[in-house]
Homo-oligomer: A and B are copies of this chain.
Amino acid sequence: MGSLLIKNGTVVTATDKYRADVYVEGETVAIIGAQLEVSADREIDASDCYLFPGGIDAHTHMELPFMGTHASDTFASGTLAGLHGGTTTIIDFAIQTQGESLEAAIREWHKKADGHAVGDYAFHCAVTDFNDSTRQELVHVINEHGINSFKVFMAYKGALMVDDRQMYELMQALVSLGGIVTAHTENGDMIDSNIQKNLQAGNTAPKYHVLSRPALCEAEAAGRAIDIAYQTGCAFYIVHTTCEETLARVRAAMSRNQKVHVETCIQYLLLDDSYYFKAGFEGAKVVMSPPLRKKKDQDALWAAINQNLVQHVATDHCPFCMDQKAMGKDDFSKIPNGAPGIENRFELLYSEGVGKGRIGLNKFVEMSSTGAAKIFGLFPRKGTIAVGSDADIVIFDPQAKHTISAETHHMNVDYNAYEGWQVRGKTRTTILRGTVAIDNGEALVGEGFGKYLKRPPFNPLH
């Protein structure tokens, strides 16, 4: 591999910002200093650029089998698109099939990813069927597979949803084993009822997706999971938080000295539910769960980020092409849920966040990378630029402008919800473990370059 010297950049971490040269030896950062006088196999000038830790997206679904089809990005295409946009590591979900083992799911996801992923990857384990047998597997999953985070779905009854007892007992089991529970918090019962009611009334258009999933359904489930977590003492993380109502539940829990981890996604910060009301089938592009919310919710989420209440901005990347979306042409409930995002998240968060004065540079790094790395045990290997850490470095030109388009993006999907958005700030070069993976839009690594990342048990004082 050799060595690499990145000169004249401005290193930014979740805490720091300083001008320095970064010297990489092999896969890791070896020296950081002012005007280093070392020779390297390769030198890159990063003048006028930021050096950010490689982005981490803790919420993706590559090749997800869902509603009779598969998410259109494979681990190969999806992680490569991520690298183009500055994301070097993902955490995808190995999802248990009800009636089968966690082991089987993890094996299946390894089959999809191993030898294919271009970027690095780890897995959360999604528990959809918690029983005595599943309980037995936890130790092995944590200690052997290096997976410390277990997701439950509070929606999608009959397919993915667990009941409160399963969630409660999973949390109890994980307290001593060193696991954290993450949850999709929507009240599946209420939503299923709304969907059926709408369909019976002949309400089939995409807008009925959002009309079937009110914010209160999300907040209720979030509050319930927070209560159950409190009762057990288990660490808890809400995935893809969308709204003020859910934040209110998190805040209320603080009064009893509870700590809740919160993730939101880039789309909830930037898009709103008016999208569902566009003419024709346009709304299908943002059919995802939970759905997009109101402007006031965007404000609340940005504020929550600055209040240190949110730890991560992910994507829930789960793209489906328009012909897949078309499965729900006559029935919104058959539109595959999900949208692309992995390639745009990092740059959009910079452009709309830092660029528009909503967040600072360190907060940008924390949200795009460090926060997730710490919670999920990737830190300090990932999530920072520091001596000894993996040299996952994004050389970012804050002045470069570009326009988002499905024509030019690298995700394997034929639309982009941000089509035409002007973005200021661009990933010029992406370095993964010391190797230049992307340079000026050209991919220099290929299928199988990505490595699987084992993670240690959860540490509440990360």
Contacts and interface: CB of A to CB of B under 8 A. Distances in A.
Interface string A8-33: 00010111111110010000001111
Interface stretch (A140-148, A225-233, A272-280): A225-233
B255 A251 contact: yes
A64 interface: no
B32 A32 contact: yes
Interface SS of chain A: helix, strand, loop or mixed?
mixed
Interface stretch (A102-110, A186-194, A400-408): A186-194
A155 to B, nearest CB: 11
Contact of A18 (B14, B20, B308, B380): B380
A114 interface: no
A367 to B, nearest CB: 13
Interface in A303-317: 303-304, 306-309
Contacts of A328: none
B30 A33 contact: yes
Contact of A389 (B18, B193, B219, B224): B18
A359 B168 CA distance: 26
A135 interface: no
Interface string A374-388: 000000100010111
A33 B387 contact: yes
A216 B227 contact: yes
Taking residues whose C-beta sits less than 8 angstroms from the other chain, chain A's interface range is 35 or more
Interface of A: 11, 13-20, 23, 30-34, 36, 163-165, 168-169, 187, 189-190, 192-193, 214, 216-217, 219-220, 223-224, 227-228, 230-231, 248, 251-252, 254-255, 257-259, 299-300, 303-304, 306-309, 357, 359-361, 363, 370, 380, 384, 386-389, 459-462
19 contacts: A11-B387, A15-B370, A16-B380, A18-B386, A34-B387, A164-B190, A165-B190, A165-B192, A165-B193, A190-B231, A217-B231, A219-B227, A220-B224, A224-B224, A251-B254, A254-B309, A257-B304, A259-B306, A259-B307
Instruction: Give 5 nearest A-B pairs by CB, closest first.
Output: A31-B33, A360-B461, A308-B308, A257-B303, A165-B189
Given A34-B387, A165-B190, 15 more contacts: A13-B13, A13-B16, A14-B15, A19-B387, A30-B33, A30-B34, A32-B32, A33-B387, A164-B190, A214-B231, A220-B223, A248-B255, A254-B303, A257-B303, A360-B459
